[in-house]
Structure formats: structure tokens, C-alpha cells
């Protein structure tokens, strides 16, 4: 049990909301269809969880192989405000790279097993979605493409955890894909992209130092970074408003505007970071849960985590509202 807990913790489960919420949302959207299966839907969500955790560990594996993970410690000594600690379980000798690769394969095998059961009942379409998702996921930091090193990582994650995850779990739950899930998956994908893009802006200096070409590094201009952030962050609200105006979705979807203050606050925090990286904010109740805040302050990464938590909580709140609407309509 201790070894399971060890690997689960190192697989960064705190990032799961960016995949679990879209997956659960897709199952709820599928519930009104005739051939709906809750069991297969849940199995689809479980497959997403296993795949996400496996890809997180694969990201550690490929990053460690590319640049040994002590680079973040070295940058910290040079004055960079990097969020050090990634791959700490490797650098402090708790495990080996070989063991990490083995556990990566275990997580992905469990995801594959879930997919195989769904394939048996739903047909081969789920196989295509799973293969595309797996190839793109490995290509995030793995050879030969290393898309996260070419400024495409944030967009890639938005595609995976937005349209691909939602279409896959929707199909698992009801055996088809319709325009509703395709439409909802785009704003959700943008908000997932927002989480990793916020991360990229916060880690702009260390990523630039090691030659990791995130979208922020690719832009290499703080005003341009904020402009792109505003597009990613506020386009979901424009899309939802347009859909309501055109009667593509119910007017109840305007309730998503409730989350707009979170988006505005996050944008303001990022503007402040660009102008004054040392300025610190305190959590507010309406920002959503921010676990272990005292520990984060002691570790000196509260400046990073308050923005990351808010980006994550924005996605969660957005998905939760859509989920409720899908059940009551």
C-alpha cells in the first residue's frame, strides 16, 4: 500500500481535475441518450485517470532524461523563482529511472485495459480516439516530437483534455458522438490550456534558461503573453454567449458567467506577476479550495500555487455548472 501511495503522490494527482472534470462532464452529457451505460462511462473516466497519471510520470521520465532534473535546483541558486521539486523522488534517491518507466507502463496498461473493455462493447471508434490521445500524450515531452519543447505543449494539452477526453468518455458512455459534446469540449479545452499556459508564464525564465520552448518562451514578449492569455481565458465566455444567442444551447448556460470573476481575477494576478513577480496574494473563499496553504508559504511557492490553483478551480467551477445543467435540462 505504501508503494501505491508513493507513486500516486509522485504522479501529481493535484492535476487530475483538468482531466476528470471534462470526463465526468461528458458522461453526464451522454446520460440523456438511449444507449447510455453508466458502467462504461465510469470505466471511461477511470481510464482517463490512469492515462493522465501515467502521462504525468512519463513527462517526468522524458524531462529527466533530457535534462537531469537538478537543473531546477541549479537555477534556484542562480536567482530564478522556479517551482523546484519536480522529479525530487528521483534526485533524492527514493527510486530509479528504471522503476519510474516501469510504473509509467503500469498506469498506461491499466488505462489500456479500461479501453479494451469499452472497445468490446462499443466498437473500434474508441480505439482510434485512444491511440490518437496516447500518441499526442507521449509526444508532449517524449521523442521524437517533444512538442512541449517547441511551443505546442499548452495547445496539445487543451486538445487532449478537452475534445479528445470528452469525445472518448462520451462515446464510452453512449456509443456515439454528437454536436453538443463537440461544442462544449472547445471551451473546456481552452480552460485546460489556460492552466498549463499560466504555468508556462510563471516558469518563463527557468524554461527559457534550459531551452524548453513553451508557448510563453516562443512568444518571448510579456505583453504578447498577456494578450494570448486573455484570448485563451475569455474566449469560452464569448463562445457560450454566442451559442445562447444563436439558440444552440439553452439560455441557462449564461449561468457560466458566474465564473467570470474568477477569470478576471486570475488575469489581474498574471498582469501583476509580469509587472512585479514578488507581489503576493492571499486566497479568498470564492477562489475555491487551495490545499496545504501554510505548507506552500513555508516552501516559498505560494506565489506560484495561488495562480495555478485559481486556474484549476476556474475549470472545475465551469465544468460543474455545465454538469448540473446537463442533468436538469
Supply 222's cell numbers.
Answer: 510579456
Question: Would you state the torsion angle of the CA atoms of residues 171, 131, 322, 235, taken in this order, to the nearest 10 degrees?
Answer: -140
The pLDDT, as a whole number, for residue 77 is 44
To the nearest whole number, what is the mean pLDDT of the chain?
88
CB 22 within 8 Å of CB 185: yes
Which position has the grid cell 533524492? 92
| Residue 321, C-beta contacts closer than 8 angstroms, at least 6 positions apart | 255, 256, 258, 259
In the predicted model, is pLDDT for residue 323 greater than 60?
yes
pLDDT tens for each residue of 161-179: 999 999 999 999 999 988 8
Supply 76's cell numbers.
Answer: 534556484
CB 17 within 8 Å of CB 161: no
Burial 80-101 (b: 16+ CB within 10 A, else e): bbbbbebbebbbeeebeeeebe
Among the residue ranges 127-141, 185-199, 201-215, 280-294, the one predicted with the least confidence is 201-215
Please report the sign of the dihedral spanned by the C-alpha atoms of residue 60, residue 16, residue 212, residue 279: negative
**In angstroms, how far apart are the furthest CA atoms of the chain?**
60
All structural domains of the chain with their residue ranges: 2-328
pLDDT tens for each residue of 70-124: 555 554 544 444 444 567 787 777 888 899 999 999 999 999 999 999 999 999 8
Q: How crowded is the C-beta side of 267, counted as CA atoms within 13 Å?
A: 18
Supply 165's cell numbers.
Answer: 477526453
The pLDDT, as a whole number, for residue 74 is 52
Q: Report which of 90, 161, 171, 174 is spatially closest to residue 127, judged by C-alpha positions.
A: 171
Q: Report which of 52, 61, 197 is spatially closest to residue 111, judged by C-alpha positions.
A: 52
Please report the sign of the dihedral spanned by the C-alpha atoms of residue 273, residue 277, residue 280, residue 283: positive
Average pLDDT over residues 225-244: 94
The pLDDT, as a whole number, for residue 80 is 45
What is the model's pTM?
0.86
Return the H-helix or E-strand segment holding 135: helix 125-139
Q: Percent helix, strand and coil across the chain, each rounded to 5?
A: 75, 0, 20
Give the rounded percent of residues in the chain with a pLDDT score beyond 70: 93
pLDDT tens for each residue of 180-190: 888 899 999 99
In the predicted model, is pLDDT for residue 147 greater than 90?
no
pLDDT tens for each residue of 42-60: 999 999 999 999 999 998 8
In the predicted model, is pLDDT for residue 6 greater than 80?
yes
Q: Is 2 exposed, middle or buried (0-12, 13-18, 19+ CB in 10 A)?
A: exposed
Q: How far apart are CA 175 and CA 325, in angstroms?
A: 22
Q: How far apart are CA 191 and CA 234, in angstroms?
A: 9
DSSP string covering 159-218:
HIIIIIHHHHHHHHHHS---HHHHHHHHHHHHHHHHHHHHHHHHTHHHHHHHT-B-HHHH
| Residue 295, C-beta contacts closer than 8 angstroms, at least 6 positions apart | none
Supply 3's cell numbers.
Answer: 508503494
CATH class of 2-328: mainly alpha
Amino acid at each position: 500500500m505504501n508503494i501505491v501511495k508513493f507513486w500516486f503522490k509522485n504522479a501529481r494527482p493535484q492535476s487530475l481535475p483538468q482531466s476528470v472534470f471534462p470526463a465526468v462532464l461528458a458522461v453526464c452529457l451522454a446520460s440523456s441518450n438511449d444507449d447510455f451505460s453508466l458502467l462504461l462511462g465510469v470505466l471511461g473516466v477511470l481510464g482517463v485517470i490512469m492515462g493522465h497519471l501515467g502521462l504525468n510520470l512519463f513527462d517526468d521520465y522524458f524531462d529527466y532524461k533530457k535534462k537531469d532534473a537538478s537543473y531546477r535546483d541549479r537555477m534556484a541558486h542562480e536567482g530564478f523563482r522556479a517551482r523546484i521539486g519536480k522529479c525530487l523522488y528521483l534526485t533524492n534517491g527514493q527510486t530509479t529511472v528504471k522503476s519510474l518507466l516501469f510504473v509509467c507502463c503500469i498506469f498506461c496498461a491499466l488505462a489500456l485495459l479500461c479501453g479494451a473493455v469499452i472497445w468490446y462493447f462499443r466498437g473500434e471508434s474508441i480505439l482510434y480516439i485512444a491511440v490518437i490521445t496516447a500518441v499526442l500524450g507521449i509526444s508532449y515531452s517524449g521523442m521524437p516530437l517533444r512538442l512541449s519543447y517547441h511551443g505546442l505543449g499548452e495547445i496539445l494539452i487543451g486538445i487532449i483534455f478537452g475534445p479528445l477526453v470528452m469525445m472518448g468518455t462520451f462515446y464510452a458512455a453512449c456509443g456515439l458522438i454528437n454536436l453538443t459534446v463537440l461544442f462544449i469540449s472547445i471551451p473546456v479545452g481552452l480552460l485546460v490550456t489556460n492552466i498549463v499556459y499560466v504555468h508556462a508564464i510563471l516558469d518563463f525564465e527557468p524554461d527559457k534558461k534550459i531551452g524548453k520552448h513553451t508557448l510563453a518562451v516562443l512568444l518571448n514578449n510579456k505583453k504578447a503573453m498577456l494578450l494570448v492569455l486573455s484570448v485563451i481565458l475569455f474566449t469560452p465566455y464569448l463562445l457560450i454567449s454566442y451559442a445562447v444567442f444563436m439558440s444552440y444551447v439553452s439560455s441557462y448556460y449564461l449561468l457560466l458567467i458566474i465564473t467570470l470573476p474568477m477569470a478576471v481575477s486570475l488575469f489581474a494576478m498574471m498582469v501583476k506577476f509580469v509587472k512585479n513577480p514578488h507581489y503576493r496574494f492571499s486566497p479568498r473563499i470564492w477562489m475555491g479550495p487551495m490545499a496545504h496553504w501554510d505548507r506552500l508559504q513555508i516552501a516559498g511557492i505560494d506565489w506560484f500555487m495561488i495562480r495555478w490553483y485559481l486556474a484549476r478551480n476556474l475549470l472545475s467551477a465551469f465544468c460543474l455548472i455545465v454538469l448540473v445543467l446537463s442533468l436538469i435540462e
